[in-house]
Every structure is written in C-alpha cells, then in structure tokens.
C-alpha cells in the first residue's frame, strides 16, 4: 500500500506540492511552467525516443493537471494527471537524462499520488511500458487481471492500478468554501479570492436583472 506522504514531505511550503533537500515538485500553473513541461517532454520523448509530435502532444494537455520538478531551480522532470469519475490516470512521466540516476521519478509519482488522495480518489490507473512494471509496483501498482498487453506508439503496455488509502487532509464538501476556491494543489494557503473579502459586497439593483423578452413570433 502507498505510504502516507505527510510522513515524509511537507505539502504546506509556500504553495509547493512537495519539497525536500534536493527537489522541488509543484503543480504547473503558469504559461512558463507549461512551457518547461513541454520542453522536458519534447527532449525525452521526441528527441530521444523519436515519438511523433502528434502522438506526444495528444490533445489532452489542456484538460489535465501537470506536475513539474526542479533540481536547483533547473526544470528536470514532469508528470501529467487526468481525472475521471472514480480514478486518476498518471501518465507522461518524463525525466531529463542528467537526472535519471536520481530519485526524481519517484518523487514525481509520489507527488501525483498524494495529490490524487487529497482530491478524494481511491484508485490510480496507468499504462506501464513493457519492462517498467517493477517501477510502478514499488508504489503498490498491480496489473489488471485478465487484461493483455496492448500496443501504441511502438511499445507494449500493461494496464496497472494502485488502490489508495484516504488522506487525512482530503478535500471534501465540509471544507470552508474559500479553501475549495484556492489554486489546484495549494489548498493550505490563503488565495487571492480570500484577500478579496476585504472589499464590501456589491449591491444588486432590481433593474440589473431583467427577464429575457419574448420573441414576437412566439406563441
């Protein structure tokens, strides 16, 4: 079973999702962050592995959460998460060559798992490339019984899942509504909308809301 990340890393450090002495992993929120994510994936998948551009940038990047990892302020790795009804799919894990002998890939996956647990998900789903199943098994991943390997982008993949324990600090509907409004993954720090509460509420006049006129030809 996946260990509790709160025992190893602080998730309350100035909006960063994970920080330790060597790496800083956070949710990508700005255009600069996304450009760094795309650069890492281009270097790893397109330049090193000859993946076609249209297969690497598959149309899912703008409906996903991205994690970016830094080593001494240098962008070093990334991971993508997509959210479905009852599971999270972790994918597009990429680490630049100078950092492959480090624990950076593990830190990214742990970060994605912890993020999913805080959002209340109980299962991770992923496709492990042939030969890399043991990497995902370290997080508790198991192959889905009865499912055969399948082929895409020139490699065979195994469908695997990880069952998750509930997080002690899971985000639920019992939270203060302002906490739910905070930026993704930055739920433990006041956000800009909370600062907006120093302004008085606007009054809404009765003249500002009018019924939509009925079309002349309507019955």
Predicted local distance difference test score (pLDDT) of residue 7? 29
Query: DSSP string of 29-58?
Result: -SHHHHHHHHHHHIIIIIIIT---HHHHS-
- 191 has pLDDT over 50: yes
Euclidean distance between CA atoms 127 and 102, whole angstroms: 22
Collect all residues with Cβ–Cβ distance below 8 Å to 185 and sequence separation of at least 6.
15, 17, 26, 27, 65, 115, 118
Residues 6 or more apart in contact with residue 39 via CB below 8 angstroms: 75
Whether 36 contacts 94, CB under 8 Å = no
Tokens 């703008």 appear where?
Answer: 62
pLDDT class of 210 with cuts at 50, 70, 90: low
DSSP class per residue in 138-166:
TTT-EEPTTPPPEEETTEEEEEEEEE-PP
Whether 179 contacts 187, CB under 8 Å: yes
Taking all residues of the chain, what is their mean pLDDT, rounded to a whole number?
A: 87
- Other CB atoms within a 10 A radius of the CB of residue 176 amount to 9
Go through the domains of the chain in sequence order and give each one's CATH number. 5-183 (3.40.630.30)
Distance CA 11, CA 25 (A): 10
Range in 2-6, 20-24, 92-96 with the lowest mean pLDDT: 2-6
- Please tell me which residue, 210 or 8, carries the higher pLDDT value: 210
Greater model confidence, 153 or 90: 90
pLDDT of res. 209? 57
Distance CA 1, CA 5 (A): 12
CA 4 vs CA 7, 115, 143, 165, 208: distances in Å: 6, 11, 22, 8, 51
Lowest mean pLDDT among 9-23, 45-59, 108-122, 187-201: 9-23
Tokens of 17: 């999702």
pLDDT (0 to 100) of residue 16: 41
Answer yes or no: is pLDDT of 193 > 90.
yes
Q: Is the predicted pLDDT of residue 196 greater than 70, yes or no?
A: yes
């Amino acid at each position: 079973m996946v260990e509790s990340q709160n025992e190893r890393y602080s998730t309350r450090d100035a909006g960063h999702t994970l920080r330790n002495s060597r790496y800083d992993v956070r949710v990508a929120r700005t255009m600069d962050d996304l450009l760094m994510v795309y650069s890492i994936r281009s270097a790893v998948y397109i330049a090193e592995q000859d993946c076609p551009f249209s297969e690497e940038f598959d149309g899912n990047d703008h409906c996903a959460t991205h994690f970016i990892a830094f080593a001494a302020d240098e962008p070093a790795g990334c991971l993508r998460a997509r959210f479905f009804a009852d599971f999270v799919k972790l994918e597009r894990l990429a680490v630049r060559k100078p950092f492959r002998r480090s624990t950076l890939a593990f830190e990214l996956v742990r970060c994605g798992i912890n993020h999913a647990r805080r959002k209340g998900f109980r299962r991770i789903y992923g496709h492990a490339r042939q030969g890399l199943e043991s990497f995902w098994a370290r997080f508790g991943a198991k192959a889905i019984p009865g499912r055969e390997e399948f082929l895409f982008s020139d490699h065979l993949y195994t469908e695997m899942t990880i069952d998750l324990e509930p997080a002690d600090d899971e985000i639920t509907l019992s939270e203060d509504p302002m906490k739910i409004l905070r930026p993704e993954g930055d739920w433990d720090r006041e956000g800009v909308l909370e600062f907006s509460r120093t302004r008085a509420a606007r009054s809404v006049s009765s003249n500002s809301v009018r019924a939509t006129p009925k079309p002349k030809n309507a019955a």
